[in-house]
Structure 1
Amino acid sequence: MRELEATLGVSRRVVSGLIGAGFVTPSRGARGEYRFTFQDVVLLRTALQLRAARIPPRKIILALSQLRAALPDELPLTGIRVSAVGSDVVVKTGPSQWDAITGQLLLDFEVAQVKGDVVFLETAPGGKDAAHQAEEWYELGDQLRTSDVNGAEQAYKKAIALSPKPHYAAYVDLGALLCEVGSRCEDALTVFDEALSHFPEDAVLHFNRAIALEELARFDDAERAYRRCLQLDPKYADAHHNLAILLETRGDRQGLLRHLSAYRRLTT
């Protein structure tokens, strides 16, 4: 659940509300925790976007039920995008798009080539607003992150630049991409610092920043970042775990036992 909250950039209450409304039916792990599939994550993110576009909940559930059966384990190279067009829910894959409920093919005159087989819907004059454009760039970044790191980086940066308000999820995913995939933790740190200027009390950002600092061997700063994360969210189990390991390497046996105990208490 915590990983999903960070991915979607929403609170646990919002995610629980979407689950309760029937948008997804996650399985349960050995300890009773929710286990979400790739399809669940895509459908929940889509549900959030369609709700923001004021599509009626009954229509969203019907459309996503149809989509769930056809959604692949991994997005195809052309990508899958779901959006609201008026009061309809439209699925787009590359140059094709169709009504999510009826399956009827629709025409689109806004398709432009970006790279290889990946296409992106550009804004026609008088078309999508900046927030909509930013969200589509963000979605493209998600689609490219495993196949084209540079393309994903540019897409996330475009989302941040276009978004009328700070795009929390794009900051989180861009920083993680740079540090984990691109081994560019200095650049990731810049991203997290900029994000924290907008979201100074976000525990996830402080946690990710601590990881980047640790990768850069800035252990004092990493320890402070983990502690700040836990100050904001004392139940952040992964922060307790990472801080425990860091303190062990620094010879702080008491700190190791204290945070390892907290980690075990929170995960059992």
Structure 2
Amino acid sequence: MSKRTTSHDYSLRSLQSLLGVSRSVLSGLIEAGFVQPTRGRRNELRFTFQDVVVLRTAFQLQSARIASRKILRALAKLKADLPDELPLSGIRITAVGDSVAVKTGQAQWDATSGQHLLDFEVAPLQGDVTFLDTTPRSMRSREQQAAEWFALAEQLVDSDAVGAEQAYRKALELAPGPHYYAYTNLGVLLSEAGTRGEDALAVFDEALEHFPDDALLHFNRAVVLEELQRFDMAVQAYGRCIELDPGHADAHFNLARLSEIRGDRQALVRHLSAYRRLSS
């Protein structure tokens, strides 16, 4: 099963979906020096959990008309102090007057000076990361709300599978268009539960109605079918994955294994050879 996006490693595309901002806005925040992403194996930009918090905060503080100089100063200190993992108390960041306020647990401080601030209105949450948005929910777009639910699901996925499922489904409900990452990650989450194969299959089937030519969705669907012991259907799904992405080594490997189970020696040799060639 292909893994969902983790909390610690985001691509530019998944970050854009998570934050609910345009690519141009996101690129502008990066060019302004708010974060310094690393490069992946294919030279693509990769972002950490700290980067996600900092970029979301920078975007909201710019919208609150906080001076860029003050944002940069506050975020430099904030990023240095952010933990590698999300604390159980959550992290909440917003503008209080012309200051940048950070709250974790019961503590709240000025992100630049470190001085404690008086409490401000925050909806209580348990164990979630919440980016406080001063815009009334009724005025925020469905795209923004879907992005917030997706972000919450990503944070809950390793600690609260039930909550993560609910958040992914809420993101799918609110998204103005098909939310590829919510479909993919929800399907993987249900598959990993061990007893939710039928539910996972339903998610991937629905996703493929919107993204019929996506090789990863066909691969994940094939894995679920295999776990449900629907081997003929799994072979067809792996085959469709390879039609769309001939370089998908794992699909060739799984097909080789299924071919051996079914006694198809010719297919076994063909797919095993393809797997070895692609993996070398």
Partner of residue 131 from structure 1, selected from 118, 125, 143 = 143
Partner of residue 83 from structure 2, selected from 72, 75, 78 = 72
TM-aligned CA deviation for residue 65 of structure 1: 7.2
Partner of residue 167 from structure 2, selected from 135, 151, 155 = 155
Residues 148, 227 of structure 1: CA spacing in aligned structure 2 closer, same or farther, 3 A cutoff? same
- TM (norm. structure 2) is 0.67
CA distance in 2 between counterparts of 1:215 and 1:266 reads 25
For 1:1-268, list aligned pairs within 5 A: 10=13, 23-26=36-39, 33=41, 40-42=47-49, 69-79=80-90, 111-114=122-125, 116-118=126-128, 120=130, 124-181=136-193, 183-268=195-280
Residues 9, 154 of structure 1: CA spacing in aligned structure 2 closer, same or farther, 3 A cutoff? farther
Q: Is the 8 A contact 2:87 2:127 kept in 1?
A: no
Residues 73, 45 of structure 1: CA spacing in aligned structure 2 closer, same or farther, 3 A cutoff? closer
Superposed CA deviations along residues 98-136 of structure 1, whole A, max 9, x for unmatched, are 89899898999663234x343645872554221111111
Q: Which moved more, 1:64-73 or 1:226-235?
A: 64-73
Superposed CA deviations along residues 3-45 of structure 1, whole A, max 9, x for unmatched, are 688975949xx9xxx8x98842247xxxxx5699xx8453676
CA distance in 2 between counterparts of 1:139 and 1:71 reads 17
TM-aligned CA deviation for residue 77 of structure 1: 2.2
TM-aligned CA deviation for residue 249 of structure 1: 1.7
Greater Cα radius of gyration, structure 1 or 2: 2
Q: Which amino acid aligns with 1:77?
A: L
Consecutive unaligned residues of structure 1, counting only runs of 5 or more, are 28-32
CA distance in 2 between counterparts of 1:72 and 1:106 reads 21
CA distance in 2 between counterparts of 1:24 and 1:143 reads 20
Residues 25, 253 of structure 1: CA spacing in aligned structure 2 closer, same or farther, 3 A cutoff? same
Q: Which amino acid aligns with 2:49?
A: V
- TM (norm. structure 1) is 0.70
Q: Is the 8 A contact 1:203 1:232 kept in 2?
A: yes
Q: Which amino acid aligns with 1:24?
A: P
CA distance in 2 between counterparts of 1:40 and 1:94 reads 25
Larger RCO of the pair (alpha carbons < 8 Å, separation 6+) = 2
Identical columns (%): 53
Q: Which moved more, 1:179-188 or 1:64-73?
A: 64-73
SS at match of 2:198: helix
TM-aligned CA deviation for residue 192 of structure 1: 0.7
Consecutive unaligned residues of structure 2, counting only runs of 5 or more, are 15-22, 63-67
